[in-house]
């Protein structure tokens, strides 16, 4: 099992193409690429932590989750209403979560932090929200699709970069 991270997919949202200057002709093209890239690296037994801002229309979330490989966990973003959180297909939903991976503490939140729990002891902050526009601090990574060329990413890939 591999663990992947992503954020800020904003499936079905034409505003994101304009605001974030995503180079897509249409929302359908954007969604198609993100689904294809997700499924090309995430297997059925893998885990994905989506750090918020899933989709424009909450009513579309269950069908989207059904198209995406892996066990999916959500960290709520500012554009995730209650209906997104309650959509079938999430293994868990949180506002904030801490995990351990490869002996490292991971602090997950939609929002980037200036400081976080165990920061001085090597903990890593994974976040979305800033769409690749925020200068990172040491051990802080934006896992959003705009910062990661629309691919879900593993901790090992983040650290190797």
Residue 105 domain flag: no
> What does the pLDDT read at residue 11?
98
> What does the pLDDT read at residue 49?
99
- Cα(130)–Cα(20) distance, rounded to whole angstroms? 10
Supply the Cα-derived Rg of the chain in whole angstroms: 15
Q: Which residues sit opposite 68 in a β-bridge?
A: none
Look up the CATH number of the domain holding residue 52: 3.60.21.10
- Cα(140)–Cα(134) distance, rounded to whole angstroms? 10
pTM of the model: 0.97
> What does the pLDDT read at residue 57?
97
**Count of domains observed in the chain:** 1
Residue 108 domain flag: no
Containing H/E element for 136? none
> What does the pLDDT read at residue 161?
78
> What does the pLDDT read at residue 149?
97
> What does the pLDDT read at residue 34?
98
Three-state SS for 155? helix
> What does the pLDDT read at residue 7?
98
For 126, left (φ over 0), alpha (ψ -120 to 50), or beta? beta
Residue 132 domain flag: no
Mean pLDDT by 10 residues, the chain (161 residues): 98 93 96 98 98 98 98 98 98 98 97 97 98 93 98 97 78
Task: Give the structural domain span for 154.
Answer: 3-95+141-160
């Amino acid at each position: 099992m591999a663990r992947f991270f992503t954020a800020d997919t904003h499936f079905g949202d034409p505003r994101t193409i304009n605001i974030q200057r995503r180079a897509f002709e249409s929302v359908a093209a954007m969604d198609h690429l993100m689904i294809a890239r997700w499924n090309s690296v995430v297997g059925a037994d893998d885990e994905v932590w989506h750090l918020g801002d899933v989709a424009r229309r909450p009513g579309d979330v269950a069908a989207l989750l059904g198209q995406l490989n892996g066990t999916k966990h959500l960290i709520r973003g500012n554009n995730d209403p209650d209906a997104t959180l309650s959509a079938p297909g999430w293994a868990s939903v949180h506002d904030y979560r801490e995990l351990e991976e490869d002996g490292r503490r991971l602090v997950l939140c939609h929002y980037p932090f200036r400081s976080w729990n165990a920061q001085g002891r090597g903990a890593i902050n994974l976040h979305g929200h800033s769409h690749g526009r925020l200068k990172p601090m040491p051990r802080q990574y934006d896992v959003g699709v705009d910062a990661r060329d629309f691919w879900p990413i593993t901790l090992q890939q983040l650290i190797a970069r």
